[in-house]
Structure 1
Amino acid sequence: MIVGIDLGTTNSLVSAWTDEGITLIPNEFGEYLTPSVVSFDGKEAIVGKTAKERLITHPDKTASEFKRQMGKDVKYNLGLGRSFTPVELSAIVLRKLIADAEKYLGEKVDSAVISVPAYFDDHQREATRMAGIKAGIKVTQLVNEPSAAALSYHYDNMDQDEKFIVFDFGGGTLDVTLVEAFDNMVEICNISGDNALGGKDFNEIIALDICKSHGINWDKLDNRNKAVLINCGESIKIRLSDSDTTKTVVNVAGDEFEYELDQQRFIDISASVFRRLTIVLKRLMNDASLSTDDIDGVIMVGGSSKMPSVRAYMESLFPGKIMVDPQGDVAICRGAGIVTGINLRKESVKDIVMTDICPFSLGVEVLGDKMAVIIPKNQILPYSKQNKFYTVSNMQKKIEFNVYQGEKLKASSNLKLDTIVLDVPPRPKGEVFANVRFSYDLNGIFDIDIYCPANGAEIHRSRGAQDGIDQDELMNIKLRMDELKQDPREIPEIKYLLEKAQRLYEEGNQMQRQFLEEEIYSFNDLLDRASIIDCKKAAAVFSIRLDRLEKSMFSFDNEAEDLWKQYIEENMENKDPDKV
């Protein structure tokens, strides 16, 4: 049995595709949201609602919000004589969700589609997959959270053709995604986000404001009193969702204080959060080269999107376009579950197609600590592209490729993923080059192929957590990526166009030959450096230009339109490859 899981910072959920369609699975309390909190009572792990209560009563034995630390070298000491990584704590939460699903469905769960923030980097995606492996399941797919939310929304609105933004503001992360949806297509166009911005930040801002209002030194408080204040901040934030003003009595270190907060003051003290939120949205709109008039609506999902101040602020940015998803709390989990239905080829969803994109640029460091991007961000996945890199010193014997992920101009300011060293023959600088091909899949599988024609040296490196992927699925992923790596000149339609261009050149006059020479050179240059997808797009344009030129050439009135096409195809079929 396969399930869909929203592994959240604050809460996690699980769903499955059943005979009734997408089904959300409740926990032992009959609730869909299970707090992403782990606590230890002796050697027993407690997960969820009960563990959340222990954040105050047993703060030294309880951990929360560890999703924010995924992919980092962080340890949580929970008083058992050992420490836990974010991956291990996430695995404990996953095991709890799987147990709930097995109890509800009456079947063993062995696989899952898990959602991740769109802005999760390579390390964080790998960590999420490893958490699934430690939980004892195969992670068949990682799906971006806003993409899952978009799929959930369009599944309920299949008759709508829209260009909308999914504003996914959760407990610990913010993701915003531009989506075009029509018929059975959900196309992810652009992504922006902040992995360290969420509802938790509001809780801490209120806690710090309580301290400031009553002369309390936050830094001198112990973990228990900090937890009390943060929990109080969360309660105040929730109450402000239903009223303009709230009063509460706060007990800190044995002293009682009265604290009052209204919507306007809340917005004032949260100015830094709203500034960061605005930057994320500006980046999305700028990348897409759109204005607010081009957007049909903004779908608000995630727990923090319920806050009136957040909605009011978004309304000021996108007047009249804010759309509240009635299933916003569970939209991501529903989307992950719908993905399982699509993968299982279930009748009502088998024809739905969702494209996703690469959220970060991938490249290598070149002279001067510059980032030479090979795969730009926002490319539809899977994607593959090759670039040439030349030696920069006389008699250079090695080329070192430092692989980075990110958008900074300086390579070293980005996230370093790998270092690969290739041996090359010592010759004058610029004479030797290496072809570097990057191939990337949404699941985080990242193939690096480096080849030096001068000496035949080659290196293949496969990154990403491939463990835990079903072998058949892994084979399908590899086949798709191998297709992307093929020489574009071997694609039948491109091969035909190149032959046609050569034939037209031979038959053309001086002006026509000059035009064709430039066109053929430009097309070949693009074939050397562009992705398969871009090559196919360029081939369509190249074909139109060749057709226009051919129509300008002399022809007999009774000449068949496909005369030369038939001639070329016959000659290509009859060619002896050993004599080419």
Structure 2
Amino acid sequence: MTVHGIDLGTTYSCIASIGQVGRAEVYRNQEGSDTTPSAVFFETPDNVIVGQAAKDNAVLFPDNVVTLIKREMGHGTPRSLHGREYTPEEISALILRKLAEDAEQDSGVKVSDVVITVPAYFGAAERDATRKAGQIAGLNVIDIISEPTAAAITYGVLNPAQDCHILVYDLGGGTFDTTVIALRGGSIEVICTDGDHELGGTDWDSAVMEHLVQRFVAEHPDVSDPLDNRQTEQDLRRIAEDAKKMLSARVKHGIRVMHEGRVTTAELTREELESVTRHLLDKTVSITDRTIETARAKGVAHLDHLVLVGGSSKMPAVAEALAKKFGLTPKLQDPDLAVAKGAALYAFEETYRRLLSAGQRTVAEQMALGAGLTHDQQEEIAARTIRTVASRAFGIVTTDGRTRIDSVAHLVHANDTLPAAITRGFSTLDDNQTRVAIQVMEQAGAKESAEVADNNKIGEGDLRIPPGKPAGFPIEVTFALDTSGLLHVTARENETGQQLDLDIQIGGMSEEEVVSSRASLARIQVS
């Protein structure tokens, strides 16, 4: 039995599984690379190209190439391409299909059971949409886990004898998370997490691109703004990304900007790069500081290690700023591949434990032996636990009986240990009320707030009330948030047992639509 871990990234993705020596191994794609650009080129209605070729075609066909779709998971609107509407889940599913098909070609093993990673700061909507993307791709999604947790699993396996607190700083292409994690006896406990799922390396690219445009316009003031042309914009973004990567190893890099027959040739220095992106780095440091303060309030007196993951964490300025601010020596932890490897380890261990729980010890042992694990290693896996926390606060809208002002009563709070199941009592407002509207809300900002405007509505439903009941008739609401960060809400009144179940399915797709999308996308060729 082979299970796989997938790092579905904003800018780059990869897939891994456990090899015959018990180590996580990343599969190469058909182009020979460990990572695949998360870019999708809709070449024709029936043919889609995913990866580097799609990214390259963004310059020529910007309207038919989709990038950064991860930022739209759970709340984005469909894209119209060749006369068909594609949801963010469907576009992500095409990336997942590419990863799975390339892994199958590389290994000869069918990709079916997978664990997909998401940023720790993803809420219920984004996590639910990610699971649905996997289902549309024809995959059995065992679980959804956070990227820092996956990176911590990789770190813990490589450092099995250490009991310590680590700070994972995860700066990817499109998202940023910072998480404090405790490693104890091989088990992993997430203490707290924070982040911004719209902050990442692509924002560094944008800042560099704008800087290059300013230099071009200063030299050629009589031509139009290069960013008004989609092809020029895509070319500038490629140039900016290349410059950012080169300046991680060099102190200066030559660039050439062309637009409307004019050319600007210049030299970009690492110092300039760091200057125009300082505000972005400062934002990550501020979020990291906030996370450390939260961990301190939860009893973490000191941190032993600072682990850097995510491709954008390779920029020298990142390690320098963090070392200066927090007095820790940052360690680059296989930044491009650690998350996929950790997801593969988690997928293997979770499947092994589930087989044992189901009484299928023989199958579990065969699976472990196939991975070259000793009896002692199997015992370690069986005993290992992973505890995580809620990334956001969740609650319902309540109305004050006197002022009739709405507010949000949170039942689950950010950094509550998962799984969490909380029941609270509420009551009706008026005599003879026949229904109660249950509006499920998720924290939108960096801090929990009772203001309705500071929360996003992620689900709703009506609970029927028996006739003739006076104001104050009691109801109960239960929030159950599982270890994947997926939410189930139940509202009930106990007199007749009337109950309302709300499986929060956000991202705009019902289960029926997922099945339909899977059948529809199966007819599209992905390469």
TM over 0.5: yes
Q: How does 1:15-54 map to 2 (within 5 A)?
A: 15-21=16-22, 22-42=24-44, 43-54=46-57
Q: Distance in 1 between matches of 2:55 and 2:303?
A: 39
Distance 1:408 1:261, change over 3 A: farther
Structure 2 residue 387 is matched with structure 1 residue 355: yes
8 Å Cα contact 1:263/1:309 also seen in 2? no
8 Å Cα contact 1:292/1:318 also seen in 2? no
**CA offset at residue 413 of structure 1?**
2.6
Q: Which deviations, in whole Å up to 9, do the C-alpha atoms of 1:401-439 show, x marking residues without a partner? A: 211111332124312122232233545533x21111111
Identity %: 29
Gaps of 5+ in 2: 353-367, 400-404, 513-527
Q: Distance in 2 between matches of 1:296 and 1:253?
A: 54
Amino acid corresponding to residue 74 of structure 2 in structure 1 = G
Distance 1:70 1:4, change over 3 A: same
Aligned residues: 465
Q: Distance in 1 between matches of 2:64 and 2:469?
A: 62
**Match for residue 519 of structure 1?**
none
**CA offset at residue 381 of structure 1?**
1.7
Amino acid corresponding to residue 360 of structure 1 in structure 2 = R
**Match for residue 337 of structure 1?**
344
Distance 1:96 1:292, change over 3 A: same
Structure 2 residue 357 is matched with structure 1 residue 316: no
**Match for residue 68 of structure 1?**
71
**Match for residue 296 of structure 2?**
289
**Match for residue 520 of structure 2?**
none
**Match for residue 506 of structure 1?**
none
**Aligned residue among 417, 420, 439 for 2:480:** 439
Greater Cα offset, 219-228 or 230-239:
219-228
**CA offset at residue 195 of structure 1?**
0.5
8 Å Cα contact 2:390/2:414 also seen in 1? yes
Q: Which deviations, in whole Å up to 9, do the C-alpha atoms of 1:171-227 show, x marking residues without a partner? A: 000011110002121111101010100000011101111111232664752110001
**Match for residue 573 of structure 1?**
none
Q: Distance in 2 between matches of 1:404 and 1:237?
A: 39
Give the 3-state SS of the residue equivalent to 2:195 in structure 1: strand
**Match for residue 471 of structure 2?**
429
**Match for residue 6 of structure 2?**
5
C-alpha RMSD over aligned residues: 2.3
Distance 1:353 1:253, change over 3 A: farther
**Match for residue 231 of structure 2?**
224
Structure 2 residue 461 is matched with structure 1 residue 420: yes
Distance 1:391 1:82, change over 3 A: closer
Amino acid corresponding to residue 256 of structure 1 in structure 2 = V
8 Å Cα contact 1:434/1:450 also seen in 2? yes
Q: Distance in 1 between matches of 2:350 and 2:102?
A: 22
Q: Distance in 2 between matches of 1:74 and 1:365?
A: 25
**Aligned residue among 228, 235, 242 for 1:235:** 242
Give the 3-state SS of the residue equivalent to 1:57 in structure 2: coil
Q: Distance in 2 between matches of 1:275 and 1:393?
A: 50
Using CA pairs under 8 Å that are at least 6 residues apart, name the structure with larger relative contact order, 1 or 2. 2
8 Å Cα contact 1:133/1:467 also seen in 2? no
**TM-score, L = length of structure 2:** 0.83
Amino acid corresponding to residue 459 of structure 1 in structure 2 = L
**Aligned residue among 228, 236, 251 for 1:244:** 251
**Match for residue 61 of structure 2?**
58
Give the 3-state SS of the residue equivalent to 1:344 in structure 2: helix
Q: How does 1:120-519 map to 2 (within 5 A)?
A: 120-215=122-217, 218=225, 221-289=228-296, 294-325=302-333, 327-345=334-352, 346=368, 347=373, 348=377, 349-367=381-399, 368-406=405-443, 407-425=448-466, 426-430=468-472, 432-464=473-505
Give the 3-state SS of the residue equivalent to 1:437 in structure 2: strand
Q: Distance in 2 between matches of 1:252 and 1:69?
A: 30
Greater Cα offset, 20-29 or 164-173:
20-29
Q: Distance in 2 between matches of 1:132 and 1:20?
A: 28
Q: Distance in 2 between matches of 1:292 and 1:223?
A: 49
Whichever structure has more helix as a proportion of its residues is 1
Q: Distance in 2 between matches of 1:218 and 1:310?
A: 32
**CA offset at residue 242 of structure 1?**
1.1
Q: Distance in 1 between matches of 2:135 and 2:248?
A: 38
Give the 3-state SS of the residue equivalent to 2:238 in structure 1: helix
**CA offset at residue 104 of structure 1?**
2.2
**CA offset at residue 454 of structure 1?**
4.3
**Match for residue 525 of structure 2?**
none
**Match for residue 534 of structure 1?**
none
Q: Distance in 2 between matches of 1:317 and 1:467?
A: 47
Q: Distance in 2 between matches of 1:293 and 1:440?
A: 28
Amino acid corresponding to residue 353 of structure 1 in structure 2 = T
Greater Cα offset, 87-96 or 391-400:
391-400
8 Å Cα contact 2:192/2:389 also seen in 1? yes
**CA offset at residue 262 of structure 1?**
2.5
**CA offset at residue 229 of structure 1?**
0.9
Distance 1:344 1:418, change over 3 A: closer
Greater Cα offset, 69-78 or 193-202:
69-78
**Match for residue 105 of structure 2?**
103
**CA offset at residue 124 of structure 1?**
1.2
**CA offset at residue 62 of structure 1?**
1.6
**CA offset at residue 276 of structure 1?**
2.5
Amino acid corresponding to residue 494 of structure 2 in structure 1 = P
Distance 1:447 1:293, change over 3 A: closer
8 Å Cα contact 2:142/2:347 also seen in 1? no
Q: Which deviations, in whole Å up to 9, do the C-alpha atoms of 1:464-500 show, x marking residues without a partner? A: 48969xxxxxxxxxxxxxxxxxxxxxxxxxxxxxxxx
Distance 1:120 1:461, change over 3 A: same
Q: Distance in 2 between matches of 1:374 and 1:38?
A: 39
Q: Distance in 2 between matches of 1:72 and 1:428?
A: 39
Amino acid corresponding to residue 124 of structure 2 in structure 1 = D
Q: Which deviations, in whole Å up to 9, do the C-alpha atoms of 1:226-250 show, x marking residues without a partner? A: 0111111111111110122323222
Q: Distance in 1 between matches of 2:496 and 2:184?
A: 50
Amino acid corresponding to residue 48 of structure 1 in structure 2 = G
**Match for residue 477 of structure 1?**
none
**TM-score, L = length of structure 1:** 0.76
Amino acid corresponding to residue 303 of structure 1 in structure 2 = G
Q: Distance in 1 between matches of 2:227 and 2:326?
A: 42
